[in-house]
C-alpha cells in the first residue's frame, strides 16, 4: 500500500526534472507533484504485477485532512483551525487500515467518504484523471529507474 493525498489532484509532473534540479523548488508544488507521482507509480506497479501473473495488489490510500503537525509551519496550517474540514488522526488512519486489511482491487484509491474526501469513513474512490494515465505512469517508471540506476 502507498500513502497518497488528495493534493495529487493539483500536481504537475516534469518527467525531465523529477528531482527539481533545473526548476526553482516550491515546497507545496513539490508535495503535490510527489503525490501525483505516487499514484502514477502505483498504477504502473499494478500493471506490472498483473502482467507477471502476481496476486499482489498495489493500493493507494490517503487520510483525508487529518489534524497533525505536518502543516503547522506552512500557509496551509490554518486548515487545522477549521474543524469542519479536518478529522482527528485516528479517523485519518482508517482509510489506510481499510486498504491494508480489506479485499480491495489493485489500483484501488481509498480515502474518506466525505465532501472532497477531506473527512469521513473509508471508501474506494477515483484518483484524478491525470493519475490514471497509463502512458505517463510508464514514462514515470522509466524516468525513476534512470534516476536511481534500477532496471526498468
Region 111-121: mean pLDDT is 95
Region 93-118: mean pLDDT is 96
Predicted local confidence at residue 124, as pLDDT: 98
Q: CATH number of the domain at 82, please.
A: 3.40.50.720
Domain coverage including residue 35? 2-148
* From 1-10, 44-53, 76-85, 121-130, the region with the lowest mean pLDDT: 76-85
Predicted local confidence at residue 73, as pLDDT: 62
What distance in Å separates the CA atoms of residue 81 and residue 146, rounded to the nearest whole number?
42
Return the SS3 of 20. coil
Residue 97 has a CB neighbour count (10 Å cut-off) of: 14
Res. 79: pLDDT tops 80: no
What distance in Å separates the CA atoms of residue 56 and residue 49, rounded to the nearest whole number?
7
Per-residue b/e over 26-64, b at no fewer than 16 CB within 10 Å? eeebebbbebbbbbbbbbbbbbebeeeeeeebbbbbbbb
Number of separate domains in the chain: 1
Per-residue CA distances from 91 to 7, 60, 95, 99, 121 (Å): 19, 17, 8, 14, 7
Predicted local confidence at residue 24, as pLDDT: 96
Question: Catalytic residue numbers?
Answer: 31
> Which residue do the cell numbers 493534493 mark?
7
Res. 83: pLDDT tops 90: no
Return the SS3 of 136. helix
Per-residue CA distances from 73 to 24, 30, 67, 78 (Å): 20, 16, 13, 10
Predicted local confidence at residue 75, as pLDDT: 66
Predicted local confidence at residue 80, as pLDDT: 66
Predicted local confidence at residue 67, as pLDDT: 81
For 11-33, the pLDDT digits (tens) are: 999 999 999 999 999 988 999 99
Q: Which long-range contacts (CB under 8 A, 24 or more apart) does 142-147 make?
A: 143/15, 143/16, 143/18, 144/18, 144/41, 147/18, 147/19
CA 45 to chain centre: 14
Res. 78: pLDDT tops 70: no
CA 141 to chain centre: 15
Amino acid at each position: 500500500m502507498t500513502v497518497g493525498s488528495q493534493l495529487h489532484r493539483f500536481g504537475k509532473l516534469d518527467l525531465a526534472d523529477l528531482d527539481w534540479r533545473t526548476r526553482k523548488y516550491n515546497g507545496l508544488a513539490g508535495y503535490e507533484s510527489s503525490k501525483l507521482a505516487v499514484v502514477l507509480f502505483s498504477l504502473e506497479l499494478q500493471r506490472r504485477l498483473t502482467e507477471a501473473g502476481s496476486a499482489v495488489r498495489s493500493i493507494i490510500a490517503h487520510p483525508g485532512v487529518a489534524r497533525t503537525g505536518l502543516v503547522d509551519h506552512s500557509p496551509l496550517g490554518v486548515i487545522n483551525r477549521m474543524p469542519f474540514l479536518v478529522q482527528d488522526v485516528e479517523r485519518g488512519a482508517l482509510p489506510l487500515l481499510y486498504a491494508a486489511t480489506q479485499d480491495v482491487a489493485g489500483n484501488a484509491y481509498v480515502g474518506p467518504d466525505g465532501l472532497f474526501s477531506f473527512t469521513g469513513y473509508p471508501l474506494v474512490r477515483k484518483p484524478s484523471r491525470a493519475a490514471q494515465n497509463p502512458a505517463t505512469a510508464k514514462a514515470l517508471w522509466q524516468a525513476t529507474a534512470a534516476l536511481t540506476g534500477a532496471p526498468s
